[in-house]
Amino acid sequence: MERALVRAIFHVDGDAFFASCEIAKNPALRGKPVITGKERGIVSSASYEAKRLGVTRGVPLSQVRRICPQAIILSSDYETYQMYSKRMYAIARRYTPLVEEYGIDECFGDLTGLATPPEEAVRRMREDLKRELNMTFSVGLGPTKVLAKLGSKHKKPDGFTVVTPENVPELLSKTPLRRVWGIGPNIAAKLEGEGLHTALDLANMSGAWVRARFAKPVLELWQELRGESVMPLSCGADTAPHSIQVTRTFAPRQGAEYLRSALSKNIENACSKARRKKLIAGEVSFFLKTQSFRYAGTHFKLGEATAAPQEVIAAVFERFPELFREGSLYRATGVTLYGLEKAEKPQLALFSEPGAMNRFGGLYKSVDALARRFGPGTVYLGSSAAALEGKGNPQEGLFSGAYGAKRLPVPYLGEVG
């Protein structure tokens, strides 16, 4: 850790952002366990009062009602959350024009070389955010994006951590590799297989050691952890969505086969939308809705970020038995992709097993080109066939697609699940 920390990059992270937006627009909720996600049947965001009672993101609401019966459960209001997000960006830009809108509840900024000392500027910015938005934000200030993000996570909620050469070893020693921004489960497992367990373990390895075992993305993380800024800020307006959701309602029916097929079609459509926006997703949630309007849902991280439907389908089908109840009547399914990032960003999983997006990249380009020319759903997975109007017989849907377009019912990547 010999390199001096010379740049001043901050990361602003909204504390329990969605729940905080609900409290900000209705102060009567302050101090109470507030949860959003009612429409999906799982926790999307929880206030710190709810977290202290054991509520965590992704937990089914049926479980929340058992462990926290006094919880106030609200449907998500993404339009309002987007409005608060834009105000957060605007406040950050008072202090520097170099602001990267990284997510609906977070942003990076570069204060290097400005007249106001960086620490003082960040303190003023936090005060502005808190006073004008009526909620708290945690902020990290450091020489790189990775260290600034670690700093914002260090003291939540309402924390401010300045990462310096003096305190960075202690911060990294307390950070498991799996909590480092950019390290997914696959790369974490590979690093742990090499005997590394904390961010400090990785930072203390030599450059030759890292280069011999990993390629550019891990090398860049290693550099950022050591205080060398190599990840530039993307300061253009970010129009990327926070999430992509696709739902499907149908006549009430029983049986796992149709529900799996409906989820498959949900996922195909969501992944197609992600590819159109040049995004890949690192997290996914899905739900099943019964005829009596009861939801069962779950949320989890993918092994690697992807927009390849068969990878998401395989992960969803693995968890399907946890939610499905034989004999129940179901009327809707839904899938939401989260953790969206730009597809051109190097995927760390490239250096373990190649993902489907890499193996079938050319094929997806052809599939998407067919969709643009003949309409969405022109080509689809065999696992989605039963959910289309052919009801299990793909040939019946040859000339009248769900989108009014011709469809070629070819299971181009095989049956999934």
Q: Would you name the residues annotated as active-site residues?
A: 106
Q: Residue 299 in contact with residue 42, Cβ under 8 Å?
A: yes
CA distance readout (Å), 58 to 61, 144, 309, 317: 9, 30, 21, 17
- How many whole angstroms separate alpha carbon 280 and alpha carbon 345? 9
- How many whole angstroms separate alpha carbon 99 and alpha carbon 116? 16
Each residue of 130-164: b (16+ CB within 10 Å) or e? Answer: eeebebbbbbbbbbbbbbbbbbbbbeebebbbbbe
Structure tokens at 162: 């300045």
Closest CA to 181 of 56, 59, 58, 11: 11
- How many whole angstroms separate alpha carbon 16 and alpha carbon 57? 10
Q: Residue 203 in contact with residue 181, Cβ under 8 Å?
A: no
CA distance readout (Å), 377 to 184, 253, 266, 384, 386: 31, 23, 11, 10, 14
- How many whole angstroms separate alpha carbon 57 and alpha carbon 35? 9
Cross-strand partners of 161 = 140
Q: Residue 389 in contact with residue 396, Cβ under 8 Å?
A: yes
Q: Classify 5 in phi/psi space as left (phi over 0), alpha (psi -120 to 50) or beta.
A: beta
Burial (Cβ within 10 Å: 0-12, 13-18, ≥19) of residue 341: middle
